[in-house]
Amino acid sequence: MTRPLSIAAALATLAMAGAGAMIFLYAPRDALEGEPQRIFYLHVSAAIAAYVAFALVLAGGVVYLWSESAAADRLARVSAEVGLLFTTITLVMGSLWAKPIWGAYWTWDARLTSTLVLWMMYAAYLLVRRIAAPGRQAARFAAVVGIIAFIDVPIVHFSVDWWRTQHPQSVINAPGGPALPPEMLVTFAVTALAVLLLTGVLIAVRYRIEALREQVAGLVEEAEAA
Amino acid sequence: MTAFLRVMGAVAGKDLRTELRSREMLPSLAQFVILALLIANFGFDVGQAGPGVIAPGVLWLALVFAGLVAFGRTFAAERDQSSLESLLLTPASRAAIFLGKALAAAILLLACEVVLVPGLALFFGTPIASPTLVGALALATVGMAALGCLFAALAAQTRARELLLPVLALPLWIPFVVVGGRAVQIAMGAQGAGGPALGLLLDFDILFVVVASLAARFVLDD
C-alpha cells in the first residue's frame, strides 16, 4: 500500500474503534427500546455508505459510457463490491434490530423491500461483470445495469409506499419519531463519519489492487508477445 | 422520425412473421401458462384460501416466468443464427431495431395473456373482462418487455445467458408487479381502493421505454 493509503487505513481503524466505544459507553441507553437501539448507529451509517458507493457506481458508469475511461470503470466496479458489502451489513443489522422491536425479522415495507431489491440488483451487477467477456463488453454492460439499477430503486420504494397506503396497514411500529438527544446525535455523527472513512479506504484499496492487476496483465501480455 | 418507425415496424414484422411461420413460441408459452395454473391448483390449498385470494399471485408468477422465456428467445434466436450482426450492420438506428424487437416480444406475451386470463377464469373462477385487469396486464407487459428485451439483448451476447436474464430482469420488474399486482387484486375482489394504478403503470412504461431505448445503443454494440 502507498503511504497515504496506509495512514488513511490506520485512521479508519481508529475511528471505527472510537465509534464502537462511543456506541457502547457514551451513548445513553434508549428509554423505550433498550440495548437493541444501539444497532441504529452502525445500521444507518452502513446504509449511507452503501448509497455513497452506489452513487459512485452510477457516476463511474456514466463517465465510462461517455469516454470509455478505464479508470471510471474500475471505480464503478470496486464501488459496487463495497456497496454490496454495506448493503448486506444494513440488511443483517436491520433484521437483528427488527426482531426484538417489531417482533419479526422482516416486514415488507417500502424501505426494506427496496433495500432488498437494491441488494439483488448490485449482486446481478457483479454477476454481469463475471459472466460478460472481460474488458469492453463487461464494462459497457455493467455500466448500463448500474445506471438502470440506480433509477429503479427509488421507483421500487415509491411503488411499495403507494401500495401500503392503498392497503390495510398491518401493525408496523415505525421506530424513531422523537428527535435524538445530543449524545446520541454525536455518537451517530462520529459513527457515520468513521464508516464513510472506512468506505473510502476500502474503495481505494480495492481500486489499487485492480489497477495493479490490470498492469500485471498488461505486462504479461507484452512479455508473451515479445 | 418516420424512418425510425418504419425500421421499428419492419423489425417487429420480421419477428412476428418468423413466429407465425415456425409456430414455436406461442404454443409452448400457452402450454407453459396452462401448466402453471395446474401446478398452482395443486400447490396451493385453494379451498382454504379461496381462489380469488390466490389467483392474482398465480397470474403474476405465470406471467413473469412466461415473460422471461419469451424475451429470452427474442435475442437468443438471433444469436444462434448469427443474424444479429447483419441486423446491426444496417445503418438503421439501434434504438429502432431494439424497440422493434421489444414490440414483437410484447405482442407475443400479450397473446400468451389471451390464453392465461381465460385459463385463470376457467380454473379459478376469476373475472375475464374487467377493464382494470386488462389494462394493468397490457401496461405492465409494455414496460416489462422494454426492460426484459434490453437485458435479453445483453444476456444473449454473454455465455450463460439463461442464467443472467432472470437475475437482471426480475428485480427491475418489481415495480410492475407491485402496482399491477394491486390492480389485479382489486379487480379480483380484494378490499380497498385501487387508486391510480393504471396511470402509474403508464408512467413506468414511458420511463422505462425511454431509458431502455437510450441504453440499447450501448448494449447492441459489437
The interface predicted TM-score (ipTM) is 0.88
Alpha-carbon gap, residue B96 to B80, rounded angstroms = 22
Shortest Cα–Cα distance, B147 to chain A (Å): 9
Rounded mean pLDDT, B60-65: 94
Q: Which of A49, A17, A85, A82 is nearest to A195 (CA)?
A: A49
Alpha-carbon gap, residue A4 to A204, rounded angstroms = 11
In a domain, A163, yes or no: yes
pLDDT in tens, B160-184: 778 899 999 999 999 999 999 888 8
CB-closest option in B175, B192, B211 to A168: B192
pLDDT in tens, B96-111: 999 999 999 999 999 9
What is the predicted pLDDT for the residue at A73? 93
Higher pLDDT, B81 or B149: B149
Tell me, what DSSP letter sits at residue B192? S
Pick out chain A residues at pLDDT < 50.
170-178
CB–CB contacts below 8 A, A to B: 94
Contact at CB, B154 and A144, closer than 8 angstroms: yes
- Name residue, grid cell 448486506: A88
Answer for the pair A153, A87: CB distance below 8 angstroms, yes or no.
no
Enter the C-alpha cell of residue B43: 400447490
Mark B166-185 as b/e (b = at least 16 C-beta within 10 Å). Answer: bbbbbbbbbbbbbbbbbbbb
Rounded CA Rg of chain A = 20
pLDDT of residue B134 exceeding 50: yes
Higher pLDDT, B67 or B76: B67
What is the predicted pLDDT for the residue at A170? 46
Alpha-carbon gap, residue B59 to B175, rounded angstroms = 16
CA atoms within a 13 Å half-sphere pointing along the CA-CB vector of A173: 11
Enter the C-alpha cell of residue B64: 413473469
- Name residue, grid cell 396511470: B199
Contact at CB, B192 and A131, closer than 8 angstroms: no
Q: How far is CA A207 from CA A69, A81, A214, in A?
A: 14, 11, 11
Q: Which of B132, B141, B140 is nearest to B188 (CA)?
A: B132
What is the predicted pLDDT for the residue at A167? 62
What is the predicted pLDDT for the residue at B194? 63
Shortest Cα–Cα distance, B31 to chain A (Å): 30
What is the predicted pLDDT for the residue at B165? 93
Rounded CA Rg of chain B = 18
Mark B128-159 as b/e (b = at least 16 C-beta within 10 Å). Answer: eebebbebbbbbbbbbbbbbbbbbbbbbbbbe
Q: Is B148 on the interface with A (CB under 8 A)?
A: no
What's the pTM value of the predicted model, to 2 decimals? Answer: 0.89
What is the predicted pLDDT for the residue at A179? 67
CB-closest option in B170, B178, B218 to A159: B178
pLDDT in tens, A62-99: 999 999 999 999 999 999 999 999 999 999 999 999 88
CB-closest option in A137, A156, A162 to B174: A156
What is the predicted pLDDT for the residue at A166? 66
Containing domain of residue A42, as a range?
3-167+184-225
Quick one: angle between helices B131-156 and B197-219, nearest 10? 10
Shortest Cα–Cα distance, A51 to chain B (Å): 18
What is the predicted pLDDT for the residue at B89? 85
Alpha-carbon gap, residue A108 to B177, rounded angstroms = 14
Enter the C-alpha cell of residue B215: 441504453
Shortest Cα–Cα distance, A190 to chain B (Å): 34
Looking at the 3D structure of chain A, how many domains does it have? 1
Alpha-carbon gap, residue B170 to B175, rounded angstroms = 10
What is the predicted pLDDT for the residue at A172? 40
